[in-house]
């Protein structure tokens, strides 16, 4: 008799509750369609990144940097020496880093704290590592961080706290007092994953990136992506930074030659393309109040946003609303999977796209 040994890890077969935003071809778009469903840059990729990638094409037969050192050097310069080269970890996107962090810190039985509504992969990757998700939802209609709730929920098994600032899908931010109160209260065995992929769009002064937190020595890992303001979602590039100890540890599980030479060249050039970022932020900041005004006019519930998207709550089934929008040539995203039932997230697009969205909205809500 053959001995039966189960080779499958039970926690890897959990069904994914996170469904990524669809591409235009996945929704079968044949005509002009406005994609306002994935918080992409409406102005397209950084022109400097395109040029750098084109210039790199003839070296595709060569392997890229083994450790991504060139990219880390560029990051050190970009951060003006506030962080050292060895405090950065580059990877193939923000979600890649989130997954690496879960693999680095979670064993079966460990716990991650999330604050819903939030980005779906925090829970997904925790479960894929055999971890348990503890949800301490954001509080009230303003979606405030429940600092005491989080601190009370920490156990000996807690390893990670996921915070997004600004948060996806609410667009709200975590203020300075709340962040400091939380960081002062956490024990030594807990790491805060500080997801700041929308940081370029923040307007409030009651905000900090993770840089000052890391400099103060808190166990914080800042997560950054090139998919949003830099307009390089298809390239798959991102980076994290942290204390030297945590960054060195994270790099242990980084795959060799992880960043392709094109991703590295594009990322470095995009970092230096201040003009493109400024243009993008200017567009978002001028279109946002126009959208608020249109929402106010039809009494649509929405949340003011520090990011390049707005969460709305139409009094319609969110799947039905999404389908009706698609019929009008506009892709938006229902937010059930992020813990915001009945809500829709809409990316701030070009003036033309936003006009089309407002027109469709008036029609659907009439």
Ligand X SMILES: Cc1ncc(COP(=O)(O)O)c(C=O)c1O
Token digits of residue 24: 């235009």
**What sign results for the dihedral spanned by CA atoms 99, 101, 107, 109?**
negative
Closer of 227 and 324 to ligand X (Cβ) = 227
Closer of 90 and 324 to ligand X (Cβ) = 90
Token digits of residue 114: 């999330």
Q: To the nearest whole angstrom, how small is the minimum distance from the Cβ of residue 119 to ligand X?
A: 4
- Binding span for ligand X by CB under 6 A among 7-15, 87-95, 278-286, 327-335: 87-95
| Collapsed DSSP state (helix, strand, coil) of residue 132 | strand
Closer of 225 and 324 to ligand X (Cβ) = 225
Considering only residues 238, 267, 337, 339, which one is a binding residue for ligand X as defined by CB under 6 A?
A: 238
User: Angle between the 261-271 and 69-78 helix axes, to the nearest 10 degrees?
Assistant: 10
Per-residue binder mask for ligand X (CB under 6 A), 33-62, x = binder: ------x-----------------------
Closer of 238 and 314 to ligand X (Cβ) = 238
With beta carbons less than 8 A apart as the criterion, state whether 365 and 314 touch.
yes
Task: List the interface residues with ligand X, window 190-229 (CB under 6 A).
Answer: 195, 197, 225, 227
Closer of 131 and 233 to ligand X (Cβ) = 233
Residues 6+ apart with CB under 8 A from 72: 85, 86, 88, 90
Q: Is 188 exposed, middle or buried (0-12, 13-18, 19+ CB in 10 A)?
A: exposed
Task: List the interface residues with ligand X, window 103-132 (CB under 6 A).
Answer: 119
Residue number of the CB closest to ligand X reads 94
Per-residue binder mask for ligand X (CB under 6 A), 143-182, x = binder: ---------------------x---x--------------
Long-range contacts of 362-365 (CB under 8 A, 24+ apart): 362/298, 363/328, 364/314, 364/316, 364/321, 364/324, 364/325, 364/328, 365/298, 365/300, 365/314, 365/316
Considering only residues 49, 74, 95, 174, which one is a binding residue for ligand X as defined by CB under 6 A?
A: 95
Q: Which residues in this chain contact ligand X in the complex, by CB under 6 A?
A: 39, 93-95, 119, 164, 168, 195, 197, 225, 227, 233, 238
């Amino acid at each position: 008799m053959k001995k039966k040994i189960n080779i499958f890890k039970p926690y890897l077969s959990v069904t994914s509750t996170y469904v990524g935003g669809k591409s235009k071809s996945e929704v079968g778009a044949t005509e002009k369609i406005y994609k306002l469903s994935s918080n992409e840059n409406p102005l397209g990729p950084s022109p400097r990144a395109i040029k750098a990638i084109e210039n790199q094409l003839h070296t595709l037969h060569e392997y890229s940097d083994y450790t991504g050192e060139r990219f880390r050097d560029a990051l050190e310069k970009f951060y003006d020496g506030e962080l050292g080269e060895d405090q950065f970890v580059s990877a193939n996107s923000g979600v890649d880093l989130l997954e690496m962090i879960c693999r680095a810190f979670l064993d079966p039985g460990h716990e991650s704290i999330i604050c819903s509504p939030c980005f779906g992969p925090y829970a997904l990757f925790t479960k894929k590592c055999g971890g348990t998700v503890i949800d301490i939802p954001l509080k009230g209609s303003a979606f405030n961080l429940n600092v005491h709730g989080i601190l009370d929920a920490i156990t000996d098994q807690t390893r990670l706290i996921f915070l997004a600032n600004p948060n996806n899908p609410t667009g709200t931010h975590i203020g300075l007092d709340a962040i400091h109160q939380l960081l002062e209260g956490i024990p030594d065995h807990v790491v805060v994953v500080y997801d700041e992929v929308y940081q370029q769009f923040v307007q409030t002064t009651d905000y900090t990136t993770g840089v000052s937190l890391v400099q103060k020595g808190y166990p914080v890992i800042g997560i950054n992506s090139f998919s949003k303001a830099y307009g390089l979602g298809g390239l798959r590039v991102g980076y994290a930074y942290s204390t030297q100890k945590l960054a060195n540890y994270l790099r242990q599980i980084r795959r060799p030659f992880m960043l392709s030479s094109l991703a590295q060249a594009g990322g470095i050039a995009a970092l230096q393309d201040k003009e493109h970022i400024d243009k993008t932020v200017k567009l978002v900041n001028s279109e946002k109040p126009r959208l608020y005004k249109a929402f106010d006019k039809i009494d649509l519930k929405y949340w003011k946003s520090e990011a390049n998207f707005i969460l709305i709550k139409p009094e319609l089934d969110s799947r039905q609303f999404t389908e009706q929008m698609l019929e009008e040539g506009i892709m938006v995203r229902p937010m059930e999977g992020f813990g915001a039932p009945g809500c829709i997230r809409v990316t701030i697009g070009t003036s033309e796209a936003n006009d089309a969205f407002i027109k469709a909205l008036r029609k659907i809500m009439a």
